[in-house]
Structure 1
Amino acid sequence: MELDTIIHATQSAVARNDWKTASGIVNALPYPDIASVLGHLSAEAALQLLRRCQHDKQSIIFGYMAPRIQSEMAQLMSRSELTALFEKMEHDERADLYNRLSEEERQSILPGLAHAEREDIRTLASYKEGTIGSIMTSAYVSLHDDLTVAQALERIRLEAPDAETIYQIYIVDKQRHLKGTVSLRELMLANPNAVLRDIMVTDVLHARADEDQSEAANQIARYDLLALPIVDDKQRIVGIVTHDDALDVSREESTEDQMRLGAVSTVGSGLNISLKDASIAVLYRMRVFWLVILVFGNIFSGAGIAHFEELIESMVALVFFLPLLVDSGGNAGSQSATLMVRALATGDVRARDWFSMLGKEITVALLLGLSMAAAVSIIGFYRGGPDIALVVALTMIVIVIVGSVIGMSLPFLLTRFKLDPASASAPLITSICDGVGVLIYFNIANILLEMPTV
């Protein structure tokens, strides 16, 4: 049965107050699907169904739910219920929820938690949003290097129920400095009497908690890691980032880049908000800023056209090709910017590579311009004769080259000033290329057709 059909059936059962049927439907589903179904209900109905799930399942299902739904449901829970949920949630997920609660709600649940759990939540919740610390978990297994393999396996059995992953074990000293790592597979194959310091890997990939979260995602993807240990400024291990959290970060970063490339604001919009569920006010705020800015940017295109009014009046055929030419420059620039933003984001290209990439981009743009000029010159000859054909063909070549160079260079420029290269959005590139394209077109026409400007 498709998920949409299941959602509709659950909604119908809830509308009839048939909680037994609704509960039977959702309890037969995998955890992520249960969360998805509950997300299509009101917070009150979702909480009613969550309570009808097995107790050991509730925290897992809750963790899959969207942040907005989590916050709404948390406000409806009793103090004891919310406290019990916090105790069972994954460490990083409950820290995220803690940050979304009001101060009053935070103070109501903390006394019900054990001291170690309170400190763990406060520590994880203290890291700035967007840093590695804000996505890491403290549920990992760490051992001292003087243990034998047999002792280590016994300790792992005791700690495994509370750990998010046990496939990689982190070796620390008494001050919790990260000294090495060993995999569970290596422990199972090792001599039971071997000491951990003799079999551990000492060259450990790691990241700092105050670094950007994309750094952890990049390392995990690059080296195919199940988890990445995170240390503080004194090289003490404070948590790990698992591969599933890294995937979430990559997805979030990709979404943010796509929004910026489309000149859609991400500030205050909430990247996890469903487009279908987003309010009109949120959608308006996401789009209005750049559109208003670009309105004023397009004034330069109008000023360029106004400057060549007499040229246009005496050769009306030029107007026919204006949208075609300036749009081609914007399209070429947007393509170039998209490729370069992606290359910079993945580390394939660095800021220092601009000069070497410039020559390659000009060559490609020249070939593209020649191909497009061949096509447009035929139309130019038909509409205005050989003179117009020459003007539009030459303009097409120059505009495509200039647009491509602008599109390629702007992400590099933003990177140079420590800004997100994805801010070189397609609408921004198009607006710049439109203004520049107008000036190129009419100046070339003015020179070749030997008509004086005003």
Structure 2
Amino acid sequence: MNIEKMQTTEHVAVSSRLGREHVADIVEFLNSKSPEEATDIVAHMPLQWAVEVLDQPHFDDACEVIEALPHERSVALLEGMSADRASDVLRWIEEPARSRLREALTPETRTAIDHLLTYPEGTAGALMTTEFVSVPSTWTVKQTLDHIREVERNRETVYAIYVLAPDTKRLVNTVSLRRLISGNPEDPILSVANPYVPITVPPNLPQEEVARTISKYDFLSVAVVDSTGHVLGIVTVDDVIDAMIQEQTEDVQRMGGMEAIDEPYLQISFKEMIKKRAGWLCVLFLSEMLTTSAMQHFSDELEKAIVLALFIPLVMSSGGNSGSQATSLIIRALALQQVRLRDWWRVALRELPTGLVLGSILGVIGIIRIVVWQEAGIFDYGEYWKLLAVTIGAALVGIVTFGSLAGSLLPFLLKRLGFDPASASAPFIATLVDVTGIVIYFSVAWLFLHGTIL
């Protein structure tokens, strides 16, 4: 009991000390603690501090903290949080706790959160917040500035003001804060509005497209508008950045040959880590068995010319490396819309000569290596070592070219079939090139060495 009192006293002191820190530093500190410790520290924070902390997307244990806190405290925190962040937290809380918390919210908050939860994850609707500054088009600059002073604490951002028709509430135009404060106080709000038609996005637009829109127009936020022209909410640049970081993290993990993890590395359980990694490893292992089968098919050639086995790792890794390079380039180009599905043939035409040149470069290096080793007496490759050198060089050209083509076209195929192109992981490409590379290697070897050592 004394230990519990000491811990509580310590957490009260920590909470008080954290009040002088930036909220981002507070979140970083809490992320270094266990969920139980983080909950106790948040429990002793003033309500407004705790709301600011839980409003941060980088706070890893937000769901656990909300579930563990007393019911009244959790409800108060959800009420104070931005609607989009509250909906994200509730989305991952298990039943029946989610329903209990939801029912305790005020009708206004509950409606806003329910509305956000209806949109699929990864869309503008799921990213948006309903807390934005809007004013009637009949107001003046002064009225708008007065209104911002009243509501700024409860709004996600005040850098963009959305001007609505007073009767229909449809979006008329937008006004940046910079233009607003430079306007004459008595002038109508529309006199300082943007001179172009408002740039908006629909609620079902993928988050990648939302990010592209914000980047293209250099916005701090963009309005999410329904088919009737009514503003459903706004997506801010910081929300987009957080979403894109998460999306890119998942893509990188998939490209590494594993399922995406939704927790920090040091916090994911051992069981979950095995579950995320074992599946893909088993698939890749079974795929590599095809390489063994291909080598068994050429076992007679290997028995006749065991020297060919010395270069299998060399030529296989070269093909896998070229394929991984091409895959990484195309996945990123597809994500940035630098290329589209219809451009697959242009990519193929570009990668074919690229693969030939890269393969030729490696082939020359391979030939030089054999010549140097033979002439220097480091290793004796036999009577037909010159033919062997040409064989290795030609095989490298073929395998690297195939790797480049396969690595560049597989993401297009996956995207066409409706899969995430990032699933074309580097290990998967390497496995594919290994299997076909064996066939190319021994076919070239038979072509050049038939009648000599084969």
**Same fold, TM-score > 0.5, yes or no:** yes
Which stretch has the larger CA shift, 351-360 or 90-99? 351-360
Equivalent AA in structure 2 for residue 191 of structure 1: N
1:263 deviation in Å? 1.4
Instruction: Kindly state the Cα deviation for residue 16 of structure 1 after the two structures are TM-superposed.
Output: 9.5
Aligned to 1:329: 319
Instruction: Say which SS state the counterpart of residue 181 (structure 1) adopts.
Output: strand
Decide whether aligned partners of structure 1 residues 44 and 277 sit closer, same or farther in structure 2, where only a CA change above 3 A counts. Answer: closer
Cα distance change on mapping 1:103 and 1:233 into 2, 3 Å:
farther
**Does structure 1 retain, via aligned residues, the 8 Å contact 2:222–2:236?**
yes
C-alpha contact 1:311 1:452 (8 A) present in aligned 2? no
TM-fit CA distance, 1:57: 1.0
Counterpart secondary structure, 1:276? helix
Q: CA-to-partner distance for each residue in 1:406-433, whole Å, 9 max, x for gaps?
A: 1111112222333221111101100110
Instruction: Confirm or deny that 1:206 pairs with 2:200.
Output: yes
Pick which of 318-327 and 21-30 moved more: 21-30
Q: Percent same amino acid at aligned positions?
A: 30
**Residue equivalent to 1:302:** 292
Instruction: State whether structure 2 residue 114 is matched by structure 1 residue 149.
Output: no
- In structure 2, relative to structure 1, the CA distance for the partners of 1:319 and 1:135 (3 Å cut) is same
Partner of 1:64, secondary structure, is coil
Q: Aligned with 1:230: secondary structure?
A: strand
Maintained 8 Å contact 1:308/1:453: no
- Provide, for residues 163-198 of structure 1, a one-character-per-residue CA deviation record: whole Å limited to 9, x for no partner: 111111112223332221111221222233333344
DSSP 3-state at the match of 2:266: coil
1:17 positional shift: 5.7
Letter in 2 for 1:391: T
Check 1:451–1:249 CA distance in 2 against 1; reply closer, same or farther (3 A cut).
Answer: farther
Check conservation: 1:36, 1:65, Cα contact below 8 A: no
Residue segments in structure 1 that go unaligned for 5+ positions in a row: 1-12
- The 5 A counterparts of 1:98-113 are 98-113=90-105
Choose which of 210, 228, 237 in structure 2 pairs with 1:216: 210
Q: In 2, are the aligned partners of 1:372 and 1:396 still within 8 Å (CA)?
A: yes
Q: Show the counterpart of 2:377.
A: none
Task: Give how far 1:24 is off.
Answer: 4.9
Instruction: Indicate how the Cα distance of structure 1 residues 62 and 399 shifts in structure 2: closer, same or farther if over 3 A, else same.
Output: same
Alpha-carbon distance in structure 2 between the residues aligned to 1:142 and 1:28: 33
- Of 232, 242, 251, the match for 1:238: 232
Structure 2: runs of 5 or more not aligned: 375-379
Match of 2:335 in 1: 345
Does structure 2 retain, via aligned residues, the 8 Å contact 1:143–1:172?
A: yes
Aligned to 1:357: 347
Aligned equivalent of 1:40, options 25, 32, 35:
32
Counterpart CA distance in 2 for 1:39 and 1:204 is 40
Q: Which residue of 2 aligns with 1:77?
A: 69
Partner of 1:413: 413
CA contact (8 A) 2:179 2:193 kept: no
Q: Under a length normalisation based on structure 1, what TM-score does the superposition of the two structures give?
A: 0.90
Alignment of 1:272-287 (within 5 A): 273-287=263-277
CA-atom RMSD in angstroms? 2.3
Partner of 1:436: 436
Matched pairs, number? 438
1:352–1:107 CA distance, 2 compared to 1 (3 A) = closer
Decide whether the 8 Å contact of 2:319 with 2:434 is kept in 1: yes
In 2, Cα distance between equivalents of 1:251 and 1:395: 40
Once the two structures are TM-superposed, the CA of residue 205 in structure 1 deviates from its matched residue by 1.7
User: 1:298/1:40 Cα in 2 relative to 1: closer, same or farther (>3 Å)?
Assistant: same
1:445: Cα distance to partner? 0.6
C-alpha deviation, 1:326, in angstroms: 0.9
Instruction: Return 311-320 or 444-453, whichever deviates more.
Output: 444-453
Residue 449 (structure 1) aligns with: 449
Aligned to 1:3: none
Name the stretch that deviates more: 230-239 or 32-41. 32-41
- TM-score (ref. length: structure 2): 0.90
Output the CA distance in 2 between the equivalents of 1:425 and 1:108. 42
Q: Secondary structure at the match of 1:203?
A: coil
Report the alpha carbon displacement of residue 242 of structure 1 after superposing the two structures with TM.
0.5
Corresponding residue SS for 2:257: coil
